[in-house]
Amino acid sequence: MSVSSATTEMVDPVPGAAAPHLPQQPDLVQLLSPEGERLEHPEYSIDVSAEELRDLYRDLVLVRRWDVEATALQRQGELGIWASLLGQEAAQIGAGRAMAAEDTAFPTYREHGVAWTRGVDPLHVISLFRGVDNGGWDPVATRFNLYTVVIGAQCLHATGYAMGLQRDGAESATLAFLGDGATSQGEVNEAMIWAASFSAPVVFFCQNNQYAISVPLERQSRVPLYQRAAGFGFPGVRVDGNDVLAVLAVTRAALAAARDGQGPTFIEAFTYRMGAHTTSDDPTRYRLASELEEWKLRDPIARVKAYLSRTGVAGPEFFDAVEAEADELAARIRSGTTEMPDPPGTAMFDRVYAEQTPHLAAQQAQFEAYQASFEGGGH
């Protein structure tokens, strides 16, 4: 038997790897070109005020600075690890700003930009990567769930939560974040089946950053990811993930449709992870520098700045002010991190259950007695 796959047509398998043709892709929703020119799209339009544009630029710059600072802190031994969002700022800010106050986000562990849009204190994210806790923010108050590290597991949570919204008659939706690698997970596929079957108000927001750590998209899928949605029975859209306006427009529309009872949408935000998977990773082992150079030309912030400058919506004074604010944020993150106290040893015994069991209370007492047995009350 022949093992040739010649009869299987590969449809646009990895436009990321060598993709100078990216802007010409017919299915890619783009409203702001890499050069900072406004584009029109027949299905997606957006009307943003000058102030909103400046705010988006500010968001992008601030989360990038946060990210750069966190990477530096990890290199200096202040964080155990950091998962950088570098290059994915527009995807995250666009998606986060598309959410209404009552919508709820279900992030992976890289959604710092979305966290920012939900008002999460960066230090509450940093504390997770420092090893102080599993995320210090309040997922109920912020409507930004805690980071989920097991790949794709949160997509089912977002779908179940959306089913709860349906039962409550709430006019809100959930936004499930996932990456390209996660699309191979059974649970992600189950989430999409559930979402379709129950017409749940959930939007699947996939940041296709081209790599699952080292493995390129072609190992996850033989078709463009957004086309998978058709098989589940709901719309799939591919958007330029480095175009904050397009992401904002597409996600807003998908969330509005979900809230309106039209069921789920799958959004593939086509982007690129400019940094390593995490600070423990070495991307030079699996991708070419030329690829990185290619994507630098599509930087998500530069195009907004170019557009703001060209249209006169913002000038040097504004850009300088944002830089100064970024400096302040970085300084606050730095001092807040280095001054962050370690948790007490007994913290691990807290909240395992709604009420501590007698058995666990006894273990905690044993732990405390052991600690106290050392001179000075600890070691």
Partner 1 sequence: MTETLTIGKALNLGLRRAMEDDAKVVLMGEDIGRLGGVFRITDGLQKDFGEDRVVDTPLAEAGILGTAVGLAMRGYRPVCEIQFDGFVFPAYNQIVTQVAKIHARSRGRLPMPIVIRIPFGGGIGAVEHHSESPEAYFAHTPGLKVVAVSNPVDAYWGIQQAIAHPDPVVFLEPKRRYWEKAEVDTDATPGPLFASRVVRGGDDVTVLAYGPMVKTALQAAEAAAEEGRSIEVVDLRTLSPLDLDPVFDSVRRTGRCVVVHEAPLTLGLGAEIAARVTETCFHSLEAPVLRVGGYDTPYPPSKLEEEYLPDLDRVLDAVDRAVSF
Contact residues: partner 1, CB under 8 A: 133-135, 138-140, 145-146, 148, 150, 153, 155-165, 167-168, 174, 186-187, 190-191, 193-194, 197, 350-355, 357-360
Separation of alpha carbons 138 and 145, rounded Å: 8
Q: Report in angstroms how near the CB of residue 190 gets to partner 1 at its nearest.
A: 4
In the complex with partner 1, the residue whose CB is nearer, 160 or 263, is 160
Active site residue 143: no
Enumerate residues 6+ apart whose C-beta is below 8 A from 148. 106, 107, 108, 109, 154, 157
Q: Report in angstroms how near the CB of residue 349 gets to partner 1 at its nearest.
A: 10
In the complex with partner 1, the residue whose CB is nearer, 43 or 168, is 168
Q: Report in angstroms how near the CB of residue 356 gets to partner 1 at its nearest.
A: 10
- The residue count of the chain comes to 379
Q: Which of 143, 277, 298, 303 is catalytic?
A: 277
Q: Report in angstroms how near the CB of residue 324 gets to partner 1 at its nearest.
A: 35
As given in the structure block, the two tokens for residue 353 are: 């259950």
> Nearest 5 degrees, angle CA 347-CA 349-CA 351?
90
Separation of alpha carbons 291 and 209, rounded Å: 12
Q: Which residue reads 């920012």 in tokens?
A: 116
In the complex with partner 1, the residue whose CB is nearer, 133 or 294, is 133
In the complex with partner 1, the residue whose CB is nearer, 94 or 135, is 135
Q: Which of 273, 298, 303, 307 is catalytic?
A: 273
Active site residue 161: no
Q: Report in angstroms how near the CB of residue 355 gets to partner 1 at its nearest.
A: 8
Helix boundaries (H) for the chain: 50-75, 89-98, 112-117, 122-130, 139-142, 153-168, 186-197, 228-232, 244-259, 289-296, 302-311, 316-338, 358-372
In the complex with partner 1, the residue whose CB is nearer, 197 or 311, is 197
Separation of alpha carbons 165 and 242, rounded Å: 31
**Beta-bridge partners for 206:** 178, 268
Active site residue 112: no
Separation of alpha carbons 327 and 86, rounded Å: 17
Q: Report in angstroms how near the CB of residue 358 gets to partner 1 at its nearest.
A: 7
Residue 247: alpha-carbon gap to chain centroid: 12
Q: Report in angstroms how near the CB of residue 187 gets to partner 1 at its nearest.
A: 5
Q: Which of 287, 105, 315 is nearest to 205 (CA)?
A: 105
In the complex with partner 1, the residue whose CB is nearer, 88 or 265, is 265
SS3 320: helix
User: Following CA atoms 302, 307, 309, 310 in sequence, which dihedral angle do they give, to the nearest 10 degrees?
Assistant: 130
In the complex with partner 1, the residue whose CB is nearer, 37 or 350, is 350
Active-site positions read: 273, 277, 286
